[in-house]
Amino acid sequence: MEDAAEEGAREVAYDRVMSERLLSVEDAFVAKGPGVVVMPRFTSAAPPRGKFAVQLRFPDGSSREVSAEVDVAHMRGPLPPFAMYRLHGVTPEEVPAGTEIWSVAP
């Protein structure tokens, strides 16, 4: 006879997508183009295209959903190009150092 805990564990559906911390902001500034660019930069072999929703989790414990996109620098060489997140609907002053950018499950 199977243990009741094992039986229940098999019935759990793991079809939910978990949020993932994408970046901890070190600096935010206005650059050419719309929105606010945040540092640090990162590398990505296959960055997402277009805008997508993210959640900003601020150092004071509050949070806010905004749209973001990935800006990729077009550089030549053996390493993947570097990328930066561009946030829409916020100002640099609204994104202090220590703010975390989290993915939003679709």
Number of domains in the chain: 1
Neighbouring residues of 27: CB distance < 8 A, sequence distance ≥ 6: 38, 39, 97
64: domain CATH number is 2.40.30.10
Residue holding tokens 């070190």? Answer: 26
DSSP letter at 79 equals S
Secondary element (H or E) of residue 4: helix 4-11
Domain-embedded: residue 41: yes
Put simply, whether the predicted model's pTM sits higher than 0.85 gets the answer no
Each of the 106 residues of the chain gets a pLDDT tens digit; together they read: 444 444 444 444 444 567 899 999 999 999 888 999 999 988 877 778 899 999 999 999 999 999 999 998 766 666 667 899 999 999 999 999 999 999 997 6
Residue range(s) defining the domain that contains residue 36: 19-103
Domain-embedded: residue 12: no
Domain-embedded: residue 61: yes
Domain-embedded: residue 8: no
